[in-house]
Amino acid sequence: MSAQISQDLRASGIARVIVILKTTIVEKDVRKIRSDLEKHFVSSKLSQATALATSSMYKGVSTAPAVRYYPNLGIMMGTVNSEGLSALRTQKDVVADISGAPPISLIRPTQARTAKLTQKIAWGIAALEVPAIWEQGYTGKGVLVGHLDTGVDGSHPALKDAISDFAEFNGMGWEVKPSPKPYDSDEHGTHTAAIIAGRAIRGKAIGVAPGALLASAIVIEGGEVIARVLGGMDWAVGKGIQILNMSLGFRGWWQDFLPLTRLLRQRNILPVFAVGNEGPGTSRSPGNYWQALSVGACDRKYNVADFSSSQRFKRKKDPIAPDIVAPGVDIISACPKNRYRLMDGTSMATPHISGLAALLWEAKPNATVNQIERAIFDSCRIEKGMDIERAGRGIPNAPRALAALLKSSA
């Protein structure tokens, strides 16, 4: 069995697999063979319900297994549990091979839309009721947030005063010298950075913590190289960050960032990680560790976004990823070249929470990472229509989180 399938089955009871059909199958038999094989797949959402053993919660859920057939490739891709996998293995007449779903997920077309700043306060900030905390004088001032992404456009008016430190790392994790001026190798990093700490432009607010500073590094451009991310992480920790925002992660369960995530907490740094954009029954590491504060995405009606990943794990502590959800649909933020764009994703939801944590840490500078996290969790509410399997604890609320934190310090 592939290592990826084993890992996924152990972690969540289900695994994404590719079933390669034998090339000797003739066209007229394909429909029946597909129909026979589909029985062995499970719906990713139902498999969560099975794990929960609370099937009554899922009466309305379709039982149709989510299997996709790729006729030009002669493969089927879907989710199986152990029994389904065993059954598929017995179909030796028609199945040539079974492998883990490709570790490299396709980059879906980015349809970020150019936008103009029209709202006085971006909807995501309003949804968290952040302005109520601003009115008390908290803007994240004095808090340094680590931001590991595609970089940040330091010339953008919303960000030029928000960047404390900037670095770029090569494939062996060495800082590129001389240090470049803050730039974005893409536009993702500028967008997420401005959600955390973007300054208001002409009175229009896009950043949750407009007084916070960023230690931002380019770590995910030009190949998937672990040392690049670790180089950035090491550098950011050395700069004295209190929060680490990473809108990145490996698809599935990947335990290798676990010791580092633990270490961040030991250093009193809050790891705020995106859970992924692959929908129910999926998640990304390190966002799916219980040691991380993982964030899914919701829209302005508080519905969990269809794309937002969620997964239940076989562990007692914090079995559901994400921990919470935050605004992640139609999020306006900065883009390079002095532009603004609307983007969707858990990458956009995550910096809302990093910004909120910055506000809280300004309010209580000697708070522990556990106190900050607990205050955010305690402020969460499951809104009408939210499924806890998809939303975790629900959506946080800034004034409630501040009150919870100040109470905990009493």
Partner 1 sequence: MSKRQARVKTDPELIKQLDQTASNEDLVEAVFTLRLSTKQLLAPMQVEEVTQKVLHRVSQQVGIDAKEVNIFRNIGAFVISAPPSFIRELLSEPEIASAIANQQPKQIRIPTAK
Interface residue with partner 1 among 55, 62, 86, 266 (CB under 8 A) is 266
Window 288 to 327, contacts with partner 1 (CB under 8 A): 297, 305, 307
Q: Maximum CA pair distance of the chain?
A: 73
The DSSP bridge pattern shows strands 250-251 and 284-285 to be antiparallel
Residue corresponding to tokens 């310090």:
409
Residue of 214, 208, 191, 198 whose CA lies nearest to 145: 214
Closer of 57 and 226 to partner 1 (Cβ): 226
Interface residue with partner 1 among 54, 110, 155, 370 (CB under 8 A) is 110
Closer of 50 and 99 to partner 1 (Cβ): 99
Closer of 39 and 108 to partner 1 (Cβ): 108
Among the listed ranges 30-38, 130-138, 226-234, 397-405, the one in contact with partner 1 (CB under 8 A) is 226-234
352 lies in the binding site for partner 1 (CB under 8 A): no
Degrees, nearest 5: CA angle 218-346-108: 80
Closer of 243 and 297 to partner 1 (Cβ): 297
Closer of 102 and 137 to partner 1 (Cβ): 102
Residue 94 near residue 37, CB atoms below 8 Å: yes
Among the listed ranges 50-58, 220-228, 384-392, 397-405, the one in contact with partner 1 (CB under 8 A) is 220-228
Phi-psi domain of 151 (left: phi exceeds 0; alpha: psi -120 through 50; beta: other):
left
Paired tokens of 236: 């950011």
Among the listed ranges 44-52, 106-114, 128-136, 396-404, the one in contact with partner 1 (CB under 8 A) is 106-114
Residue of 374, 375, 373, 333 whose CA lies nearest to 351: 333
Residue corresponding to tokens 């389904």:
84
Interface residue with partner 1 among 65, 249, 336, 394 (CB under 8 A) is 249
10 lies in the binding site for partner 1 (CB under 8 A): no
Window 157 to 176, contacts with partner 1 (CB under 8 A): 171-174
Among the listed ranges 232-240, 359-367, 376-384, 396-404, the one in contact with partner 1 (CB under 8 A) is 232-240
# residues near partner 1 by CB under 8 A: 63
106 lies in the binding site for partner 1 (CB under 8 A): yes
Burial pattern 198-233, b for ≥16 Cβ within 10 A else e, equals bbbbeebbbbbbbbbbbbbbbbbbeeebeebbbbbb
Interface residue with partner 1 among 62, 179, 255, 338 (CB under 8 A) is 255
The single-letter DSSP state of residue 169 is B
**Rounded least distance, CB 101 to partner 1, Å:** 11
Interface residue with partner 1 among 205, 214, 248, 395 (CB under 8 A) is 248
CA 7/CA 4 separation, integer angstroms:
5
Phi-psi domain of 61 (left: phi exceeds 0; alpha: psi -120 through 50; beta: other):
beta
Query: To the nearest 10°, the Cα dihedral for 332, 386, 276, 342?
Result: -10
274 lies in the binding site for partner 1 (CB under 8 A): yes
103 lies in the binding site for partner 1 (CB under 8 A): yes
**Rounded least distance, CB 234 to partner 1, Å:** 4
Residue 248 near residue 274, CB atoms below 8 Å: yes
Interface pattern 50-69 for partner 1 (x via CB under 8 A): --------------------
Residues in CB range of 317: below 8 A, 6 or more apart: 290
CA 187/CA 28 separation, integer angstroms:
48
137 lies in the binding site for partner 1 (CB under 8 A): no
Closer of 344 and 373 to partner 1 (Cβ): 344
**Rounded least distance, CB 336 to partner 1, Å:** 15
Residues in CB range of 285: below 8 A, 6 or more apart: 249, 250, 252, 253, 254, 255, 256, 257
Interface pattern 176-205 for partner 1 (x via CB under 8 A): ------------x-----------------
Window 112 to 131, contacts with partner 1 (CB under 8 A): 112-113
CA 167/CA 18 separation, integer angstroms:
39
Residue corresponding to tokens 């599935």:
252
Q: Which residues are catalytic?
A: 149, 188, 347
Positions touching partner 1 (CB under 8 A) are 3-4, 103-108, 110-113, 150, 171-174, 188, 220, 223-227, 229-231, 233-235, 237-238, 247-251, 254-256, 258-260, 262-264, 266-267, 274, 276-277, 284, 297, 305, 307, 328-329, 342-347
